[in-house]
Amino acid sequence: MERVCRGLYIGRFQPYHMGHSQVLQVIAGSVDEVIIGIGSAQRSHQKSDPFTAGERVLMVSRAVEELGIKTYIIPIEDVHRNSLWVSHVKSLTPPFEVVYSNNPLVKELFHEAGIEVVETPLFNRERYSGKRIRRLMLSDDEGWKDLVPTSVLRVIDEIDGVGRLRRISGSDDSREVHSEVSEMRP
Ligand code: NAP
């Protein structure tokens, strides 16, 4: 029986956008199946992480349906020890041969664990960025709607995601919790 080659693509997807879809299509050209790790799964209701893991699972699963790629979508909470993170990820996901990431810490941790890491291409980064989308949402600029797949737009509407982002952005609870992990937040 032929061995299935799986790749892991990990990101926070706050929210999932067209840039992520383009990366996924490139990855799908190199592996049989893609594991999508929803990073920082414990985070939500914060200015830089407004959506829950469940909401992000919904966004990603609806968007990949349209792409026709075989995927496994797995929420992954952060752990407070970087040295244990790769084992933590492996304990939650189906086996994989290669990791796709541009994040220096992610690359280093998988490299040290002897797992192949491939850099993902950057697609129109000025336009497609989670940070930019959250900023447009906060400034009442409808332009963000062109930057996410229609399926994701529907999820954000269903959960009143923009309303939440605006409400929490003024509260103390929306501040970053400082930890080893938040040091790497853009
Ligand atoms: P991230 O913190 O979600 O994103 C970092 C930046 O890279 C974001 O601006 C993101 O943009 C951008 N980016 C991601 N993929 C890109 C691509 N293909 N092209 C262009 N820009 C891209 O980090 P991440 O690497 O995507 O996700 C890593 C996850 O692993 C995080 O949740 C992190 O907390 C977790 N982690 C945890 C530990 C631990 O628990 N000890 C250790 C290492 C990593 P967008 O916002 O537009 O996606």
Digit-by-digit pLDDT tens for the chain (186 residues) are 678 999 999 999 999 999 999 999 999 999 999 999 999 999 999 999 999 999 999 999 999 998 889 999 999 999 999 999 999 999 999 999 999 999 999 999 999 999 999 998 877 888 999 999 999 999 999 999 999 999 999 999 999 999 999 999 986 444 444 444 444 454
Residue 1 C-alpha to ligand 1 middle, in angstroms? 35
Residues 113 and 33 in one domain: yes
> Of 51, 90, 103, which is best to mutate to test ligand 1, by the most ligand atoms within 8 angstroms of its C-beta?
103
Residues 114 and 134 in one domain: no
- Residue 146 counted as domain residue: yes
Half-sphere exposure of 76 (CA within 13 A, CB side): 27
Number of structural domains the chain divides into? 2
- What confidence score (pLDDT) does residue 180 get? 40
Residues 139 and 75 in one domain: no
Residues 101 and 175 in one domain: no
Residues 77 and 147 in one domain: no
For ligand 1, say whether the CB of 21 is within 6 Å of any of its atoms: no
- Residue 62 counted as domain residue: yes
For ligand 1, say whether the CB of 137 is within 6 Å of any of its atoms: no
- Residue 124 counted as domain residue: no
Residues 68 and 148 in one domain: no
Residues 158 and 86 in one domain: no
Half-sphere exposure of 127 (CA within 13 A, CB side): 11
Q: What residues make up the domain containing 164?
A: 130-184
Out of 118, 144, 160, a domain closes at 118
